[in-house]
Amino acid sequence: MMIVICFTEGPHDMSRIYRAKVLGYFIYFLVNEKGELVANGVPHPDKERAWEFLLRCTPIDLSGIPLLECEEEYSDLVNALVRLYEGEHADVKVDLRFTNLSITEINVLRAIRTIPRGKVTTYSSLARALGLRSPRLVARILSRNPFPLIFPCHRVVRSDGIIGGYMGSRDLWYVKAGILSREGVDIVGRRVASLKRYFYALKEEELKGYLSNSSPKVDNT
């Protein structure tokens, strides 16, 4: 997966929720008045479930924000999200806005974008690479990921190979398992069949140039 992400400055104003249907999947996503992506859900054949997925991912209250059918300008984004969900490679430019996230949370998200398709890392390994105190902290941050698939939190699993929850719910493990399986990771039940085979080691020195000690382009509303 290679997605180019642009971070822009300026005032933040949530303004539109879009619904799209592609290849039998519904997907919802949230943009601000500048057209920047603020959150996206995960595709699902049932529109109610797809809506639930956006609710799980959004960093703000959606009350009062209009729901619109997807416009043509977002077709590349929607198609890319569906391809990523199907485990495929996708190239797309995304203008997005981090909202209500700390620098630590943003760096966790940036770090997981280095995990290749078809590989996984663990919450413990990710915590060590980022110098964080606890794998549970990493798990909590990833459970609130506003951009699943773009920032592939599904590629982070437990140290015992159990894949864990997804989008803040243990009950959604099967969604995570399905994405990993389509990316080429062998899943048996709720576990990566061979963690050693699929493990990707994140190293602190390799992440230094990729992460940031400051975040001038983040909205905290």
Confidence of residue 206 (pLDDT cuts 50, 70, 90): confident
Q: Domains (ranges, CATH) in the chain?
A: 2-99 (3.30.420), 103-207 (1.10.10.10)
Can you tell me the distance from the alpha carbon of 113 to that of 95, in angstroms, rounded to the nearest whole number? Answer: 16
Candidate list 6, 57, 70, 153, residue with the active-site label: 153
Instruction: Calculate the CA 88 to chain-centre distance.
Output: 15
Does residue 221 have a pLDDT over 80? no
Catalytic, 153? Answer yes
What is the H or E stretch that residue 178 is in?
Answer: helix 173-182
pLDDT digits (tens, 9 = 90+) for 57-83: 999 889 899 999 998 999 999 999 999
Can you tell me the distance from the alpha carbon of 152 to that of 148, in angstroms, rounded to the nearest whole number? Answer: 6
Q: What is the pLDDT of residue 5?
A: 55
The model's pTM is 0.89
pLDDT digits (tens, 9 = 90+) for 149-191: 999 999 999 999 999 999 999 999 999 999 999 999 999 999 9
Q: What is the pLDDT of residue 209?
A: 66
Closest to 146 (Cα-Cα) out of 67, 47, 28: 28
The angle that helices 103-112 and 135-143 make with each other, rounded to 10 degrees, is 90
Higher per-residue pLDDT: 14 or 116: 116
Quick one: the chain helix, strand, coil %, rounded to 5? 35, 25, 40
Phi, psi angle pair for 142, to nearest 5°: -70, -25
**How many residues comprise the chain?**
221
Paired strand residues for 96: 7, 37
